[in-house]
Amino acid sequence: MLRESLDTPDSEFVCQVATFLTILMIEGAYSTEVYSWRSHFKGAAALVSKMLHGRDWTQSSDAWVISQSLALSLEIAQTGHVDSERHAGPTGMLLDALSTRSDFGYTIGSPRAALKAISTLQRADRVKDDDGLALDNLEVEISDALRILDSMQDEDAEHQSNFHKEHSQRNERMDYLAKLHSRMFLNAVFIYLKRLKPGVTPSQVSIYTSSVLKDMSTFLDMDGGSISIWPVFVAAVEACAPSDRDLVRRWFEFSSRLGIENRVQARQIIEMVWETRDSVADETGCPVEETIVDWTTVQQALGIDILLL
């Protein structure tokens, strides 16, 4: 059905993209068959190229929402790629086109700055040996975004005390949950950025790791619902302090009730990273927080290819 849809010139655009997203999510998040969802990347790249040519996302509000969901899914998925082959440039170009809107990223609960940073990081990672300055400049941009978000949260906390009506309190709660989720993404991007640089240890990202995990715990305390796996996972694999690992275990307990396969895979990878790091630290006498373990290498050894969505 998907092949027939792609081969039909006048097939409905939204239906095509929705079909791709459905397949990617079912096979990537729920299927126990390893690597199966990667096989759809070539078809997705072809669809993205078609979208760039026809600017299909401008057709309607639904078209824009579904277009950004596909582009974001493909971009986030690449952060866990263990092979040398990477997806081509069209996805990055599509993200550049879509991210001009201020609400870009809301479908996965991430601020626009974080997602643009991830996209840039993906491209920078492929050419990072050519120009290290690009990463340094991006780090400054993310740091500025974090300060802005922190100041916004402080203002909201002060403003919240002035609200007494139930409806207003409910709106404030939703705004606060959204900002928690946004800050989790931003801090996780900082971790991801720093870990691209050779020799960066868990101790050098520990402030961001703790921030993500504390915000995650607060989100759960407030019954905020499901949390995007990407920021929690990126922080969890760098967690070394017992208090941070306890927070991750709390997320394990929550996620286990969802019945989603990639949450099970996430736990396997995270616990193996911890076990490997602790073992290497014990053997070498190096502090755990100074011991580097690449989680993508661990997942490869486990025969897993996780979709972090």
pLDDT digits (tens, 9 = 90+) for 184-218: 988 898 898 788 778 999 999 999 999 999 999 99
Average pLDDT, the chain: 77
How far is C-alpha 23 from the geometric centre of its chain's CA atoms? 19
* 242: pLDDT strictly greater than 90: yes
Please report which confidence band the pLDDT of residue 20 belongs to, taking 50, 70 and 90 as the band edges: confident
Confidence of residue 138 (pLDDT cuts 50, 70, 90): low
pLDDT at 118 over 50: yes
24 compared with 175, residue with greater pLDDT:
175
Instruction: Report percent pLDDT > 90 for the chain.
Output: 32
Distances (CA, A) of 114 to 18, 87, 231, 306: 24, 20, 11, 21
Q: Between 143 and 260, name the one with better pLDDT.
A: 260
Segment 232-260 shows an average pLDDT of: 96
Greater confidence (29 vs 43) lies with 29
Spatial separation of the C-alpha atoms in residues 66 and 262, rounded to whole Å = 22
Q: Of the given ranges (56-60, 69-73, 90-94, 102-106), which has the lowest mean pLDDT?
A: 102-106
Nearest-angstrom CA–CA distance, 21 and 2 = 11
Q: Distance of alpha carbon 67 from its chain centroid, rounded?
A: 17
Q: At what angle do helices 112-127 and 61-77 cross, to 10 degrees?
A: 40
- Provide the pLDDT confidence category of residue 159 given band limits of 50, 70 and 90: very low
1 vs 135, residue with greater confidence: 135
| Residues 29, 94, 108, 232, CA torsion sign | positive
Distance in angstroms (rounded) separating the CA atoms of residues 242 and 263: 21
Q: Is the pLDDT of residue 301 over 90?
A: yes
**CA-CA distance, 98 to 77, in Å (whole number)?**
18
* Residue 160 banded pLDDT, cuts 50, 70, 90: very low
Distance CA 264, CA 187 (A): 23
Does 85 have pLDDT greater than 60? no
Compare 270 and 7 and report the one with higher pLDDT.
Answer: 270
Residues in the chain: 309
52-56, 121-125, 240-244, 268-272, range with the lowest pLDDT = 121-125
Alpha-carbon distance 268 to 262, whole Å?
10
Least confident of 39-48, 173-182, 247-256, 291-300: 39-48
User: What is the C-alpha separation between 129 and 178, in angstroms, rounded?
Assistant: 36
Query: What is the phi/psi pair of residue 119, to 5°?
Result: -60, -45
Q: Contact 215/172 with Cβ under 8 angstroms?
A: no
User: Treating both helix axes as pointing N-terminal to C-terminal, what angle do 229-236 and 242-256 enclose, rounded to 10 degrees?
Assistant: 140
Mean pLDDT of 45-68: 73
Give the pLDDT of residue 18.
Answer: 80
Sign of CA dihedral 18, 2, 80, 303: positive
User: Which whole number is the average pLDDT over 228-234?
Assistant: 95
Per DSSP, 26 falls in state: I
pLDDT above 50: residue 1 = no
Which residue would you say has higher pLDDT here, 8 or 56?
56
CA distance 276 to 280: 6
The kind and range of the H/E element at 44 are helix 41-54
